Structure 1
Amino acid sequence: MSKPQTSETDNVKATIEHFFEGFHKQDSTVVLKTVHSDIKMQSIGKNKKGQTVLTHGNFEDFLNSIVSIPKEKTFKEELLSYNIQIDGDMAHVWTPYKFYFDGNFSHCGVNSFQLFKDNEQWKIIYLIDTRRQDCKE
């Protein structure tokens, strides 16, 4: 019996799932396998004055912050759905989420991933997210 063929949509989704597997395990080696070496990161949220701001992130700093969360602390980013679009060697993935820290709701938003197919492997090249508190729990 032959193995069912994996679709490109399945491969793209697997890359995002693998990224979050490493994220939740605080394993930078796993995360790094899913991203391009020149990944860009941004976030949209509110500053202390309530103004909407766009911040630019450094991926190495992001990884260090995840790895350095004390092991007794728990965190989980719950992805609510996947909307995957592919054109040739480019993919876009839209994932609404809710984020919990130490079991308590922290914030919600949407991740927007851009990926490209590099040597038959989908790699995340750009990640932007929104962060809000006005979510339905």
Structure 2
Amino acid sequence: MKKLIFIMFVGLSSICFSQEEKLLNNPKELVIEFFDAFHEQDTTRLRQLAHVGARLESVSLDSDGNTKIKSDKYSDFLKGIVSIPKESVFREELHEFKVEENGLLATVTTPYTFYFNGKMSHCGVNSFQLVKFEENWKIVYLIDTRQKDKCD
């Protein structure tokens, strides 16, 4: 009986592992997984999807109409995710995916609208830069635009 349980455990573990590997082998699926983990505030999964040292930047206009860029470490992004109160409801709705894959590099672009507690907060475009390490894609850079108007 112990052997049967052990064999079942090993079999299930390998099935679960192969599903995770398959998910990370596709740039679009990695971005979908990123947003699933983001909405669930699952920083463990978010950390697994990014390469150590990944960077985030956000482009917007200041009150004078000048372009500004805000830069963050991925680890700071994760701290921000944890700090969102559990009673808050947030959702980043993706409108489409444009995937360009070239060998070890991929770019996934996703226009989005962000909602916080049921109200539209802002919109823009995400651009994920991915690198393939062995068989797995990892986020190395994420830049987005943010605007509060013209969010049709």
Q: When the two structures are superposed, what TM-score results if normalisation uses the length of structure 1?
A: 0.89
2:18 aligned with 1:20: no
RMSD: 1.7
Which residue number corresponds to residue 122 of structure 1?
A: 137
- State the alpha-carbon separation in 2 of the partners of residues 54 and 136 from structure 1: 20
Which residue number corresponds to residue 135 of structure 1?
A: 150
Structure 1: segments with no counterpart, 5+ residues = 1-6
Provide, for residues 82-117 of structure 1, a one-character-per-residue CA deviation record: whole Å limited to 9, x for no partner. 000011111001100000000000000000011011
Percent identity, aligned pairs only? 46
- State the alpha-carbon separation in 2 of the partners of residues 132 and 84 from structure 1: 23
Which residue number corresponds to residue 42 of structure 1?
A: 57
Larger Rg: 2
> Aligned AA for 1:52?
T
Match of 2:112 among 89, 97, 105: 97
Matched residue pairs, number? 130
2:105 aligned with 1:59: no
CA contact (8 A) 2:112 2:124 kept: yes
- State the alpha-carbon separation in 2 of the partners of residues 21 and 129 from structure 1: 18
Q: Which has the higher helix share?
A: 2
Q: When the two structures are superposed, what TM-score results if normalisation uses the length of structure 2?
A: 0.80
Provide, for residues 102-134 of structure 1, a one-character-per-residue CA deviation record: whole Å limited to 9, x for no partner. 000000000001101112000011100000112
